[in-house]
């Protein structure tokens, strides 16, 4: 059976919650914390790292909105893996060292974001996933993502 593989397209960070994240190309992911210096890095929470696929972002682009990687406040923009289909507990090996464990699929958006108001939809609540950092290390653009088994 062939391994399912994906790729990191962007490593995104922001200092404050509730704002778009900027691609930094390479980041240090800390065990049981998240992306170093990111507003969402917190110990012992389920949503240490957020991931969203390019394929999901394309759905919003198709509705006419010019959105970029990080605009949905995701830490990792990926391609090649159907993220929302992964069961909670799935482990992802990223870049050969970092090990993430899927902790939540989607989220409740209490406040509608600008993307929702612009096109009447946002994919992050349905298709974004969250993970905990089990083994830390560096993740950079073009790193491979594999389902660890």
Q: Do β-strands 129-135 and 49-53 pair in parallel, antiparallel, or remain unpaired? A: antiparallel
In total, how many domains does the chain have?
1
Q: What is the domain extent for residue 46?
A: 5-148
The whole-number pLDDT of residue 117 equals: 47
Taking only the tens place, the pLDDT of each residue in 67-105 is 889 888 889 999 999 998 999 999 999 998 999 999 988
Q: Compare 127 and 88 and report the one with higher pLDDT.
A: 88
Chain mean pLDDT for the chain? 85
Q: Which of 44-48, 58-62, 123-127 has the lowest mean pLDDT?
A: 123-127
Taking only the tens place, the pLDDT of each residue in 35-50 is 999 988 876 678 899 9
**Of 38-42, 114-118, 139-143, which one has max mean pLDDT?**
139-143
Q: Do β-strands 26-30 and 137-140 pair in parallel, antiparallel, or remain unpaired? A: antiparallel
CATH number for the domain harbouring residue 45:
2.40.33.20
The whole-number pLDDT of residue 128 equals: 85
The whole-number pLDDT of residue 85 equals: 92
């Amino acid at each position: 059976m062939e391994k399912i593989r994906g790729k990191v397209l962007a490593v995104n960070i922001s200092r404050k919650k509730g704002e778009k994240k900027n691609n930094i190309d390479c980041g240090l992911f800390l065990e049981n914390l998240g992306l170093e210096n990111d507003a969402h890095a917190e110990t012992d929470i389920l949503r240490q790292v957020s991931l969203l696929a390019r394929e999901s972002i394309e759905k919003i682009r198709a509705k006419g909105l010019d959105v970029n990687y990080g605009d949905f406040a995701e830490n990792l923009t990926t391609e090649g893996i159907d993220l929302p289909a992964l069961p909670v507990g799935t482990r992802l090996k990223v870049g050969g060292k970092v090990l993430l464990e899927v902790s939540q699929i989607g989220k409740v958006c209490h406040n509608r974001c600008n993307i929702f108001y612009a096109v009447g939809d946002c994919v992050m609540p349905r298709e974004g996933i969250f993970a905990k950092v089990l083994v830390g290390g560096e993740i950079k653009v073009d790193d491979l993502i594999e389902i660890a088994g």
